[in-house]
């Protein structure tokens, strides 16, 4: 699977719905779900996925959710219409793709967090 597939895989998931601060138990579970995935680099996720786009989407989704939670972001504060959310998704995917293209050995969690930061203008 090429790095460009990462861009396509993430499209349907990222910024698809609201993300708001959640209860401690839910936040703890989110961290527990994401922590085992934090070892992935842009290259290693593509290699391990071996064409399984759903796997990539699931990993990127968990990392993105954690980034949004850590920043206490509610997507509804940045986009309310489907068109605005689609624009955010496209900007996120471009930032994610650029980050991985710049360094295929970069930790994916950091690339995801930077893409969130860039996309939302933080």
User: What are the pLDDT digits (tens) for 83-121?
Assistant: 999 999 999 999 999 999 999 999 999 999 999 999 999
pTM, to two decimals: 0.77
Q: In the chain, where are the structural domains located?
A: 3-120
Does residue 35 come out as left (phi exceeding 0), alpha (psi in the -120 to 50 range) or beta? alpha
């Amino acid at each position: 699977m090429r790095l460009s597939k990462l861009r396509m895989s993430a499209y349907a998931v990222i910024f698809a719905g609201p993300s708001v601060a959640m209860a401690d138990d839910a936040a703890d579970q989110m961290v527990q779900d994401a922590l085992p995935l934090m070892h992935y680099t842009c290259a290693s996720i593509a290699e391990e996925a071996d064409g399984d786009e759903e796997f990539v989407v699931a990993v990127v989704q968990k990392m993105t959710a954690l980034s949004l939670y850590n920043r206490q972001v509610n997507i509804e504060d940045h986009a309310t219409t489907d068109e605005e959310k689609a624009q955010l998704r496209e900007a996120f995917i471009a930032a994610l793709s650029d980050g991985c293209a710049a360094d295929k050995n970069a930790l994916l969690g950091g690339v995801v967090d930077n893409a969130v930061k860039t996309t939302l203008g933080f």
